[in-house]
Amino acid sequence: MSGFGLHHYAVSVRDLDEAAATYGRLLGLEPGERGRDEAASLSWLALGFAGERSLVLASPESEASPLHAEMMLRARERNPHGEGFRRSAWHADDPPALARRFTERTGRAAGDLEVQAGSVRLDPGWTHGLPMILASLPEPGPRPVWPSHIAVAVSDLAAAEATFAGGFGLTPRRRFEADYGDFAASALYRGAREVLALMTGRSEGSAVSRRMRGMTAPDNPRGEGFYLASWAARDPSALSERVERAGGLVARQQHSFFIHPRSTHGVHMRIYPAED
For residue range 17-52, what is the model confidence (pLDDT) as tens digits?
999 999 999 999 999 999 999 999 999 999 999 889
Q: What is the pLDDT of residue 2?
A: 56
Tell me if 125 sits within 8 A of 37, measured CB to CB: no
What is the DSSP-derived secondary structure letter of residue 139? Answer: P
Q: What is the pLDDT of residue 190?
A: 94
CB 81: neighbour CB atoms within 10 A?
18
Sequence length of the chain is 276
CB 131: neighbour CB atoms within 10 A?
18
Q: What is the pLDDT of residue 148?
A: 96
User: Residue 113 CA to chain centroid, in angstroms?
Assistant: 21
What is the DSSP-derived secondary structure letter of residue 77? Answer: T
What span, in angstroms and rounded, lies between the C-alpha atoms of 152 and 175? 14
Residues of the chain predicted below pLDDT 70: 1-2, 110-111, 276
Give the strand pairing for 257-259 and 250-252. Answer: antiparallel
Q: 175: which strand partners?
A: 186
Single-letter residue type at 146: W
Give the torsion through C-alpha atoms of 232, 269, 192, 3, to 10 deg.
-90
Q: Is the dihedral of CA 91, 95, 101, 105 positive or negative?
A: positive
- Give buried/exposed letters for 210-230 (b at 16+ CB in 10 A, else e): ebbeebeeeeeebbbbbbbbb
Q: What is the pLDDT of residue 140?
A: 84
Q: What is the pLDDT of residue 1?
A: 42
CB 96: neighbour CB atoms within 10 A?
16
Q: What is the pLDDT of residue 170?
A: 96
Please state the domain extents for the chain.
4-273
Range 4-273: architecture per CATH:
Roll (3.10)
| pTM over the 0.85 mark | yes
Tell me if 52 sits within 8 A of 121, measured CB to CB: no
What is the number of H-type helices and E-type strands within the chain? Answer: 6, 16
